[in-house]
Amino acid sequence: MGPVLVGADQDLAPVTLTFKDVNGDGKLDMIVNVQDSHFVFLNDAGQFRSPRPGEHIQF
């Protein structure tokens, strides 16, 4: 499940992906970039998931 974009013409907003280890576990995590917003999904056993409360991430 990813971010929901709302507002006029949001379906036309450019979306890019960045892969970077943001939690220091040695695995590349996925950052979804939409305009000025960034959504982090952690690499957990080959699948990407949202961070859990209390998990430390660093851009």
For 4-59, how does the pLDDT look when each residue is reduced to its tens digit (9 = 90+)?
777 888 888 899 999 999 999 999 999 999 988 899 999 999 899 999 999 989 97
pTM: 0.83
Structure tokens at 30: 């996925």
Domain boundaries, the chain: 1-59
* Rounded Cα–Cα distance for residues 30 and 28 (Å): 7
